[in-house]
Amino acid sequence: MEDEVMKNAGYMLAAFAVAWAGVFAYVLFLSVRQARLRQEIDALKSDLKEKGAR
Amino acid sequence: MKRNTLLVAGFILMMAALYLIFLYAPIEKDMKLVQKIFYLMVPMGWLAMLAFIVTAVGGILFLVKKSDKWDILAYSSGEVGIVFTTLALATGSIWAKPVWGVWWDWGTPRLTSTLILWFIYMAYFLVRNLSAEEHRGATFAAVVSIVGLADIPVIVLATSLWQGLHPPPLIFQSGGLDPKMRVALMTSVIAFTVFYVVLLMFRTSLRHDEAELKRLKEQSQ
């Protein structure tokens, strides 16, 4: 009976793993990109400030 | 509502959805545990369409009002949408193998029209990236999104009109879906929709940062 219920459970696990891995990978991509952009923006802003002070 | 508040709400809803999927909703008698994939692929498929509708509406407003904020919304929703469309196709395919015996069936219009939506998303980004001038690229992309909108009713009606291997639309029919399964499904749909809104807000703010960086670079040259 238990074997019958567990039949094809691997497909279910694979689907949940793919879905969650996809969502997490995208969130990670956005987070890394945002951190890099913020760094670049801050660096450029301080460059522009220095240029303005000269 | 702030993004973090929505994120917490989405997380709580997702935990509730997982509880309902695995501990509340009954195990389907024929498909057994594989049927649980249904609680993932339906929300993913819904978000694939919702995100594209938002992209097209953003595109229309961009063409009418000529404001970049609508293009930013359209672009961001398009990017989030392509992620969900890819996941809908992937989870749908994983579900199809044990249930239908094949990973994919070209004779099932729901699958084919969803794949066409994926290609429309790709075309949306392709015309943007191939255009030398950003504003022109955004205009072309808006046109692609408006034309691509025609695929949405095809996806929605596909199971009623041409079914193929795909089951008929049973979710809201009386006697169609077990009430407990319906509660689990609707909770999952709401939880994923909240996640879509959070991701859209995140991507939109990132797009604003990209625009600011571009402006600063031009200023510094």
Q: Is B90 in contact with A44 (Cβ distance < 8 A)?
A: no
Confidence label for B186 from pLDDT (cuts 50, 70 and 90): very high
- Of the candidate ranges B37-51, B105-119, B161-175, the one whose mean pLDDT is the lowest: B161-175
User: What is the chain A residue with the closest CA to B93?
Assistant: A15
User: What is the chain B residue with the closest CA to A47?
Assistant: B220
Question: What is the helix (H) or strand (E) element at residue B206, kind and residue range?
Answer: helix B179-220
For every residue of B6-33, DSSP letters joined together read HHHHHHHHHHHHHHIIIIISPPBTTTBG
**Among all chains, which residue has been given the structure tokens 């291997």?**
B165
Residue B203: how many other CB atoms lie within 10 Å = 23
- pLDDT over threshold 60, residue B43: yes
A5/B contact by beta carbon, under 8 A: yes
Average pLDDT over residues B30-46: 92
**CA-based radius of gyration for chain A:** 24
Q: Would the pTM of this model clear 0.95, i.e. be above it?
A: no
Among A11, A26, A45, whose Cβ lies nearest the Cβ of B97?
Answer: A11
pLDDT of residue B60: 96
- Residues A11/B32, Cβ–Cβ less than 8 Å: no
pLDDT of residue A50: 85
pLDDT of residue B25: 93
Confidence label for B19 from pLDDT (cuts 50, 70 and 90): very high
Among A6, A14, A41, whose Cβ lies nearest the Cβ of B94?
Answer: A14
Average pLDDT over residues B204-213: 93
- pLDDT over threshold 70, residue B171: no
Cα–Cα distance measured from residue B75 to residue B142, given in angstroms and rounded to the nearest whole number = 9
- Of the candidate ranges B127-141, B163-177, B198-212, the one whose mean pLDDT is the lowest: B163-177
Average pLDDT over residues B85-90: 96
- Which residues from B are below 8 Å from A when comparing CB atoms? 27, 31-34, 36-37, 40-41, 44, 80, 83, 86-87, 90-91, 94-95, 97-98, 195, 199, 202-203, 205-206, 209-210, 212-213, 216-217, 219-220
Confidence label for B172 from pLDDT (cuts 50, 70 and 90): low
Confidence label for A53 from pLDDT (cuts 50, 70 and 90): confident
Q: In chain B, pLDDT over 90 holds for what percent of residues?
A: 69
Q: What are phi and psi of A30, to 5 degrees?
A: -65, -40
Q: How far is CA B168 from CA A23, B33, B199, in A?
A: 28, 20, 31
- Of the candidate ranges A9-18, A29-38, B172-181, B201-210, the one whose mean pLDDT is the lowest: B172-181
User: What is the chain B residue with the closest CA to A44?
Assistant: B216
Q: What's the distance, CA B115 to chain centroid?
A: 12
pLDDT of residue B169: 63
Q: What's the distance, CA B201 to chain centroid?
A: 15
Question: Of how many residues is chain A composed?
Answer: 54
Q: Which of residues 20-39 of A touch B (CB under 8 A)?
A: 22-23, 26-27, 30, 33-34, 37-38
Q: How far is CA B203 from CA B3, B29, B79, B92, B213, in A?
A: 11, 41, 8, 26, 15
Q: Is B98 in contact with A8 (Cβ distance < 8 A)?
A: yes
pLDDT of residue B32: 85
Average pLDDT over residues B144-159: 89
Confidence label for B63 from pLDDT (cuts 50, 70 and 90): very high
Among B83, B87, B206, whose Cβ lies nearest the Cβ of A34?
Answer: B206
Cα–Cα distance measured from residue A5 to residue B133, given in angstroms and rounded to the nearest whole number = 57
Cα–Cα distance measured from residue B115 to residue B120, given in angstroms and rounded to the nearest whole number = 9
Kindly state the tokens that stand for B148: 């691509």
CA neighbor of B204 nearest in space, from B62, B71, B81: B71
Cα–Cα distance measured from residue B204 to residue A48, given in angstroms and rounded to the nearest whole number = 25
CA neighbor of B121 nearest in space, from B64, B70, B77, B57: B77
The pLDDT tens digits for B92-122 are: 999 999 988 999 988 888 889 999 999 999 9
